[in-house]
Amino acid sequence: MPIDFKKISQIFYEASSSVLLEHEVYALLQLAGMKTPEYLFNAKGRQVTEKDLSRFPSSPVVLKIVSPSIVHKTDVGGVWFVEKDLAEVNRAIQDMLGSVPKKYLEWIKRSEDKDHWTEWTEEAIRDDILGVLLCESIDHEHHGFGSEILLGLRTSREFGPVVTMGVGGVDVEYMAERIKEGKAVAIGAAHLLKKDDVLSVLEELSFFEKFTGTFRGRKPLLSADTLAAAFDGFLQLGVKFSSLSAVEDIVIEEFEVNPFVISKGKLVALDGMCRFSKNSHPLEPRPFEKIKHVLEPKTIGIIGVSEKMNLGRIILKNILKNGFPAENVSVIKPGMEEIDGCRCVPDVSSLSGTLDLFVITVSADQSYDVMKDIVELEKARSVIIIAGGLGEKKGTQSLEKDIKDLLAESRRVEKLTPVVNGGNCLGIFSSPGRYDTTFVPDHKLYALPREGARQEKLALISQSGAFMISRMSKFPNIIPAYAISIGNQIDLTASDYLNYLKDRKEADVFAVYLEGFLPGDGLVFARAVKDCVNRGKKVIVYKAGRTPEGKAATASHTASVAGDYWVARAVLEEAGAIMTEDIFEFESYIKKCLFLAGKKIHGKRVGLVSNAGFECVIMSDNIKGDEELELAHLSPETIQKISEILKPLGIDRLQDVRNPVDTTPVADDETFAGVVDAVLKDQNVDCAVVSPLPMSPAMQTLVPSKHHKEDLFKEGSIARRLVSIFNKTSKPMVISIDTGAIYQPMVDMMEAEGVPVFRHCDEAVRFLRKYIHATRRSPAHHP
């Protein structure tokens, strides 16, 4: 049944307050195609009639107090079950109207928010009660713990409308605190999650199989499609009544059913609440196409350069050091004609023409005046504001707002208006642009000279400049295409850079550190992530600012159960981002994703190979988690081939060939590599984790020494052979070298050849899980 949006809109427009009463919620649900109990609103002072009671098919009848203020009805004696008898029903209604005001006042006095309600009296509460709702008593399924469902929609600041589903009733808070994230609550952004993808999100829920499967021999309680249809209905409501849409001026701020129960194979909504507003704020188009002037300027201007070595002078030297022509740089420096070979002018008005990029390195309290001159005189197409403290130090918030207003007004009148990066940022490094506006000299980042450093298709985007340069110093052998410190996002945001770079060949891997989103920009970022993944690119995200799920929650509220961090994580994962747990994982995944660029992903069937039994067990233990791999079933031909490879060393007599393949420590370089090659060539294998424990005397794994005859660098060593196999296969393959420091040269040699190497086998499996899972969310990579 299609949703009747026209009549739903009418409910909102005719509502007496911004919170729908429960019978209005029931009406909305029915118009959305969802089942509710039979109900009748009986206004205060009205007597129920026999005709009224005839609407209810069974006894007892449920009575619920109706008041805009009383949300937790059960806590204050506002829910009664009475026999379907006219006299009994009318008597119960009068008793409820008489007793609830006193109980509600007592409840207020016990509540944590009692100071907010000091004005309430019994008389005021009585006046606030509108009547009593009569409801059909629903006979529903009870199958132990977690038999009810919560379904909610709320408007989030970052992603707009977000829908969540989890265990409902009184179990919701208990489940949220004890079940692994991603299993207790399903989360989807209404503007992003498509109907065809809903089922894959719900399948992760802890109760999904209990409700939709043949649990303990009984038939399914309801179909998976029924569950998905309810979730999709809330998604549609979210999109229609969204704060980010110009379609309606009604915004659903929070809409929740707790619980839905299962009755005769149907979901029936028992209790619901809906809060709404009448203002929407559609997203303004972003000027991200102008980012070309930021990242690849032909001309640069800078202010704040001293004759001595100050911050501005370091930035100027870094700009020139990377090959940017001095003749294309203009410095605002009164009283000087040139500095470091660059032309000086006394002020902004003296600049010749319009520059592509202007770098402001003066203090926060001077930045607005410089920006005002640039905007009014149309002297730059893009600006980087370095100023620390802008918008953060007391007294600078108004300066940040003034700059935003300045840009908005200039764009409104269609003047040439720059896009702005920062403030409070550390600058930008751009290999294609041949410049560096960070104020950290190379000798403070890397051990010089950087021999062997190679250009990679990496864009590092960070809200924190310190975080950005800390990561760069961890990768002395990697030269990123871009390293962008976005700071306060006064204008340009992380999503703008993703949207600009998603079609550029210079970047295939995006590593993003985020602390928060501007209003609505989380949704824009998630869409940009999805576009990047659909183009075969990888987006790795470390999201800071995490909060425990549901700690300050009322048990019945979805918004609290979902938590802001878990909403961001769920939405970005659905978009295809690889969400990292910690900084170490973030750093590690950057290199591994760069090295796996170009590999083809056709499925999640993994082949595992080691020469140590414990590693085979540990790798197998780690193929399932929030994301899952499947152990590939090796074909008979592959099993026969591996048996032949193992036979000369007698390994075939020690154990049968199965996945994971344990070659035992007897396997030498040629044998181990032969097994790996055979596994990867099997059509049943989509990817592989290979973990040669290098202490085996049969393998060449050490650097040359007078103490032994090994040489890991010579042709035929296991390291050389694995590099060759990695370069030839089109399938994702990662290596684990789970040993001490003496084997670091083996790791370094393979990584120098672009092979992803981990130092623990479980870590290697977990990475491949996330890598395959994120990529397979994209339709472009489905087998």
Residue 388 has pLDDT above 80, yes or no: no
Q: What is the pLDDT of residue 364?
A: 86
Q: What integer is the mean pLDDT of 79-105?
A: 95
Question: Where residue 8 falls among pLDDT bands split at 50, 70, 90?
Answer: very high
**pLDDT beyond 50 at 555:** no
Which residues touch 591 (CB under 8 Å, ≥6 apart)? 475, 478, 751, 756
Predicted confidence band at 174 (pLDDT cuts at 50, 70, 90)?
Answer: low
pLDDT reading at 548 higher than 70? no
Do 65 and 103 belong to one domain?
yes
Angle of CA points 5, 7, 12, to nearest 5°:
90
Which residue in 62, 256, 100 sits closest to 166, CA to CA? 256
55 and 186, same domain (yes or no): no
pLDDT at 202: 92
Same domain, 459 and 574: yes
CA 485, CA 465: separation in Å to the nearest integer? 5
State whether 626 and 748 are in the same domain: yes
More reliable by pLDDT, 176 or 676: 676
Q: Which among 136, 171, 205 is the end of a domain?
A: 136
- Provide the residue range defining the domain that includes 109: 38-136
* Token representation of residue 555: 């048990």
**Collapsing DSSP states into helix, strand and coil, what is residue 469?**
helix
Binned at pLDDT 50, 70 and 90, residue 556 comes out as very low
User: Where residue 173 falls among pLDDT bands split at 50, 70, 90?
Assistant: low
Q: Do residue 755 and residue 608 come from a single domain? A: yes
Angle at the Cα of 126 from the Cα atoms of 120 and 127, rounded to 5 degrees: 90
Domain co-membership, 342 together with 357: yes
pLDDT category, 393, cuts 50, 70, 90?
A: low
Domain boundary among 113, 136, 159: 136
Which is higher by pLDDT, 171 or 56?
56
* In-domain check, residue 703: yes
Is there a single domain that holds both residue 392 and residue 468?
A: no
The verdict on residue 525 lying in a domain is: yes
* Among 543, 567, 595, residue at a domain's last position: 595
Give the total number of structural domains in the chain: 5
DSSP string, 379-435: -BSEEEE--TTTTTSTT-HHHHHHHHHHHHHHHHTT----EEEESS---EEETTTTE
- Lowest mean pLDDT of 398-402, 557-561, 778-782, name the range: 557-561
DSSP 203: T
Please give the pLDDT value at position 549: 36
Are 504 and 584 part of one and the same domain? Answer: yes
pTM score, two decimals?
A: 0.88
Please report the pLDDT score of residue 552 as a whole number.
34
pLDDT value for 166: 87
Distance (Å, whole) CA 287 – CA 418: 9
For residue 399, which amino acid is it?
A: L
Residue 243 sits in a domain of what CATH number?
3.30.470.20
Phi/psi of residue 204, each to 5°? -80, -15
Q: Are residues 313 and 228 in the same domain?
A: no
For residue 448, the tally of other CB atoms under 10 A from its CB is 10
Residue 120 is predicted with a pLDDT of 82
If one counts every other C-beta atom within 10 angstroms of the C-beta of residue 59, the result is: 13
pLDDT digits (tens, 9 = 90+) for 566-580: 889 889 999 999 999
Model confidence at 441, in pLDDT bands (50, 70, 90)? confident
pLDDT at 457: 95
Instruction: Write out pLDDT tens, residues 261-298.
Output: 999 889 999 989 999 998 777 778 888 889 999 999 99
Best mean pLDDT range from 108-117, 156-165, 197-206, 672-681? 672-681
Asked if residue 204 has pLDDT above 90, the reply is no
B/e letters for 45-58, b = 16+ CB within 10 Å, e = fewer, are: eeebeeebbeebee
Q: Is residue 418 part of a domain?
A: no
**DSSP secondary structure letters along 371-389:** HHHHHHHT-BSEEEE--TT
Q: Flag whether 649 is in a domain.
A: yes
Torsions phi, psi of 365, nearest 5? -75, -10
Q: What is the pLDDT of residue 291?
A: 96
**Residue 42, pLDDT above cutoff 80:** yes
Which has the closest alpha carbon to 710: 681, 740, 742, 741?
Answer: 742
Q: Do residue 204 and residue 311 come from a single domain?
A: no
Residue 629 sits in the same domain as residue 564:
no
Does residue 53 have a pLDDT over 90? Answer: yes
Residue pair 255/154 in contact (Cβ under 8 Å)? The answer is yes
- pLDDT bucket at 31, cuts 50 / 70 / 90: very high
Q: Residue 505 — pLDDT band, cuts 50, 70, 90?
A: very high
Radius of gyration of the chain (CA): 32
Task: Give the tens place of pLDDT for each residue, 474-491.
Answer: 888 899 999 999 998 999
Q: In 433-481, where do the E strands start and end?
A: 435-436, 454-455, 458-462, 478-479
Q: Are residues 525 and 386 both part of a single domain?
A: no
Residue 411 lies in a domain: no
Question: What's the chain's average pLDDT?
Answer: 89
pLDDT band at 116; cut points 50, 70, 90: low
Arithmetic mean of pLDDT, 576-600: 92
Quote the percentage of the chain above a pLDDT of 70: 91
